[in-house]
Amino acid sequence: MNLRPVGIIGTGMYVPEKVLTNADLEKMVETSDDWIVSRTGIRERHIAAPEQATSDLAYEASVRALESAGLKPEELDLIIVATITPDMAFPSTACILQEKLGAKKAAAFDLSAACSGFVYSLATATNFIGSGMYGNALVIGADTLSRITDYTDRNTCVLFGDGAGAVVLGPVPEGRGFKSFDLGAEGSGGPLLNLEGGGSRLPASEETVKGGKHFIYMNGREVFKFAVRVMASATDEVLRKAGLSKEDIDLFVPHQANIRIIQSAMQRLNLPEEKCVINVDKYANTSAASIPLALVEAAEAGRIQEGDTVLLVGFGGGLTWGAATLVW
Ligand code: UT7
């Protein structure tokens, strides 16, 4: 039970400069712009430069979020980085970022929940602040999926991009901030979307490299079915927990994996397009960065007014899902 309301007091985002278009991919694998657009809604994605790692993307987004919150790095209490592409196995990307920012007093850790990671991290930070343990937190969703994508596999390489979105959380006036969260996992679906190599089960070896075990594996059709199901159920549940109805939603911010998954959720909610953030066409699926990139872009474009009710919902590897409602 939280003692005080917690909300978003600063936002920032960053995508790398390099753009990889569907036309570029046509030259790399047997695919077409028409197939990619009609099956996914994706037109282009941003790709990190060779010298950029996840902490570098997270840093750029964080600096902007701190500036927008009017907070100095040394005032930060907590840093959580949601990612499945950390700079290295350890130390955590959050610790690397803490040093880069100069956030000397902040506790720092990574949170692994794939594309649901940002919402999981928001829930975690909200409870830390709501309970009074910390005064503020920097929450970042950052992924460099290009580093774990097999650019000879047309089933996956058209789907992913790189980026980072960051928010600063802090206490907000009564009536504002996060109202409810719904987090969940279906571990039985883990093998449908994973990266097997390089962990303690299958340490890196010549065989794991040759076998492509350091790339994302995905059973697209099964993940699609899971996504459509949990987008609907998590949305219902998070609204119920907040005592809200579908009509109360001013802005719907779904995970940007596939336009068809988003459209199925919008139909079910009976939401007009102007109430839904869609930027999958520009950034593709950026995993943990996807929801914050959509949220921050919408906020910076002036699409969210004070007092608006915003619903975030995502799904991903684990399998996992996460949804949140907040009053802006
Ligand atoms: O963040 C969470 C993770 N992931 C997701 O949310 C992804 C969920 N799944 C999806 O978005 C969709 O399942 C995909 C976009 C991955 C695939 O779309 P689909 O409509 O489910 O296509 P499919 O897998 O049923 O494949 C249809 C055909 C196949 O050919 P055959 O077997 O029917 O001859 C594929 O080989 O399309 C083929 N195909 C391609 N063709 C051209 C697969 N990828 C491509 C491609 N270009 N890039």
- Asked whether residue 234 is assigned to any structural domain, the reply reads yes
**Average pLDDT for 51-58:** 98
- Asked whether residue 126 is assigned to any structural domain, the reply reads yes
Instruction: Please indicate, yes or no, whether residues 99 and 165 belong to a single structural domain of this protein.
Output: yes
Average pLDDT of the chain is 97
For position 161, what pLDDT does the model report?
98
Instruction: Please indicate, yes or no, whether residues 185 and 163 belong to a single structural domain of this protein.
Output: no
Collapse the DSSP code of 132 into the 3-class scheme (helix H, G, I; strand E, B; otherwise coil) and give the result: coil
d(CA 286, CA 280): 9
DSSP 33-84: HHHHHHHH---EEEE--TT--HHHHHHHHHHHHHHHHT--GGG--EEEEE-S
**52 confidence band (pLDDT: 50, 70, 90):** very high
Instruction: Please indicate, yes or no, whether residues 83 and 125 belong to a single structural domain of this protein.
Output: yes
Of the candidates 124, 149, 174, which is a domain's last residue? 174
1 versus 277: the higher-pLDDT residue is 277
Instruction: Please indicate, yes or no, whether residues 148 and 196 belong to a single structural domain of this protein.
Output: no
Instruction: Please indicate, yes or no, whether residues 132 and 193 belong to a single structural domain of this protein.
Output: no
CATH number, residue 41: 3.40.47.10
**245 confidence band (pLDDT: 50, 70, 90):** very high
Q: Which residues of 250-261 are buried (b: 16+ CB within 10 A; e: fewer)?
A: ebbbbbbbbbeb
DSSP 191-238: GGEE--TTSSSS---HHHHHTTTTS-EE-HHHHHHHHHHHHHHHHHHH
Span 63-99, pLDDT tens digits: 999 999 999 999 999 999 999 999 999 999 999 999 9
In this predicted structure, the answer to whether residue 184 has a pLDDT above a threshold of 80 is: yes
d(CA 231, CA 44): 24
Q: Which ligand 1 atom is the nearest neighbour of the CA of 287?
A: 1
Strand partners, 143: 163
d(CA 31, CA 309): 40
Instruction: Please indicate, yes or no, whether residues 321 and 190 belong to a single structural domain of this protein.
Output: yes
| Boundaries of domain holding 65 | 6-174
Nearest CA to ligand 1 atom 6: 257
Of the candidates 127, 155, 174, which is a domain's last residue? 174
Two tokens, residue 299: 């906020």
Nearest CA to ligand 1 atom 36: 155
Instruction: Please indicate, yes or no, whether residues 158 and 256 belong to a single structural domain of this protein.
Output: no
Pocket lined around ligand 1, Cβ cut-off 6 Å: 31, 35-36, 39-40, 115, 154-155, 158, 193, 218, 220-221, 223-224, 227, 257-258, 285, 316
In this predicted structure, the answer to whether residue 1 has a pLDDT above a threshold of 80 is: no
Span 257-297, pLDDT tens digits: 999 999 998 998 888 889 999 999 999 999 999 999 999 99
For position 2, what pLDDT does the model report?
67
Nearest CA to ligand 1 atom 30: 155
Span 298-323, pLDDT tens digits: 999 999 999 999 999 999 999 999 99
Instruction: Please indicate, yes or no, whether residues 28 and 169 belong to a single structural domain of this protein.
Output: yes
Structural domains in the chain (count): 2
For position 279, what pLDDT does the model report?
97
Collapse the DSSP code of 27 into the 3-class scheme (helix H, G, I; strand E, B; otherwise coil) and give the result: coil
- Asked whether residue 1 is assigned to any structural domain, the reply reads no
Instruction: Please indicate, yes or no, whether residues 166 and 185 belong to a single structural domain of this protein.
Output: no
For position 271, what pLDDT does the model report?
87
For position 268, what pLDDT does the model report?
84
- Asked whether residue 150 is assigned to any structural domain, the reply reads yes
What is the 8-class DSSP label of residue 160? Answer: B
Instruction: State if pTM tops 0.85.
Output: yes
